[in-house]
Amino acid sequence: MAISPTGIIPEALMYPARLGDVMLLIGQLAAPGDYKEQLFIGWARTVGVTVNASQRATVRQSGWDYSGPTTASGVAGTPS
């Protein structure tokens, strides 16, 4: 079930052309990945844009519950 973006995503971002900005905004929220993904889907439905699996995964993986690399060498752009 998608979450309504009303009151969370600013009105200025409620346009299909702002997809990248919305992904950045949601990525900065302190929330679990499932919540972020459902918020993103809710935004997409509200503005009438289709989001693909890769975009949904990017948003989901920005959640605080995502278990990414545990060492600096596992982080892209970090010298090993």
Judged against a pLDDT cut of 60, whether residue 78 lies above it is answered with: no
Q: How confident is the model at residue 76, as a pLDDT?
A: 52
Alpha helices (runs of H) in 1-80, residue ranges in sequence order: 19-28, 33-47, 53-60
Q: What pLDDT, in 10s, does the model give residues 13-53?
A: 999 999 999 999 999 999 999 999 999 999 999 999 999 99
Q: How confident is the model at residue 12, as a pLDDT?
A: 96
Q: Which residue has the tokens 């972020």?
A: 36
Q: How far apart are the C-alpha atoms of 13 and 63, rounded to whole Å? A: 20
Q: How far apart are the C-alpha atoms of 36 and 78, rounded to whole Å? A: 26
Judged against a pLDDT cut of 90, whether residue 69 lies above it is answered with: no
Query: What residue ranges do the domains of the chain occupy?
Result: 15-66
Judged against a pLDDT cut of 60, whether residue 77 lies above it is answered with: no
Q: How confident is the model at residue 73, as a pLDDT?
A: 52
